[in-house]
């Protein structure tokens, strides 16, 4: 992962992180405890997307009540990331996931990069 520091910011109507396909998110599943893993797997639709992801609006139907592992702040504990490195880690995770779902030249990746660069 790149070491360039950016301030992480979620870009609305992206939803790349809502692609929960266990075959593509093995590292995430391994970081979860047994209870979290069970909740995670219950959230996965047959198409690999979260059952709470509204594909029309590209938004979470349970955003305010989403599980802790859906929150960027939980990356600190799940992946043993220091608070000083959280933004950079989150940025790199998002870039990787957005590229995987939408492609490296997608509108979503351009919007994300613009958002994080605007914060510098």
Residue 10 lies in a domain: no
Residue 2 lies in a domain: no
Residue 25 lies in a domain: yes
Rounded to two decimals, the pTM is 0.85
Residue 64 has, within 13 A of its CA and on its CB side, a CA count of: 0
Structurally, the chain folds into a number of domains equal to 1
Q: Using CA atoms, how far apart are residues 112 and 109, in angstroms rounded to an integer?
A: 5
Residue 103 lies in a domain: yes
Tens digits of per-residue pLDDT, 42-100?
A: 999 999 999 999 999 999 999 999 999 999 888 888 888 888 888 999 999 999 999 99
Residue 47 lies in a domain: yes
Per the structure, the complete domain to which residue 46 belongs is given by 16-118
**Residue tagged 């613009």 (tokens):** 114
Instruction: Give the pLDDT score at 113.
Output: 93
Residue 4 lies in a domain: no
């Amino acid at each position: 992962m790149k070491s360039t520091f950016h301030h992480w910011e979620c870009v609305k109507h992206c939803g790349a992180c809502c692609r929960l396909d266990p075959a593509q998110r093995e590292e995430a599943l391994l970081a979860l405890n047994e209870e979290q893993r069970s909740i995670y797997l219950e959230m996965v639709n047959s198409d690999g997307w979260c059952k709470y992801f509204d594909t029309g609006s590209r938004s979470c139907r349970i955003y305010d009540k989403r599980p802790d592992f859906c929150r960027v702040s939980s990356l600190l504990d799940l992946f043993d990331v220091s608070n000083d490195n959280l933004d950079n880690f989150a940025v790199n995770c998002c870039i990787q996931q957005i590229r995987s779902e939408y492609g490296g030249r997608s509108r979503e990746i351009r919007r994300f990069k613009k958002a994080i660069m605007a914060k510098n």
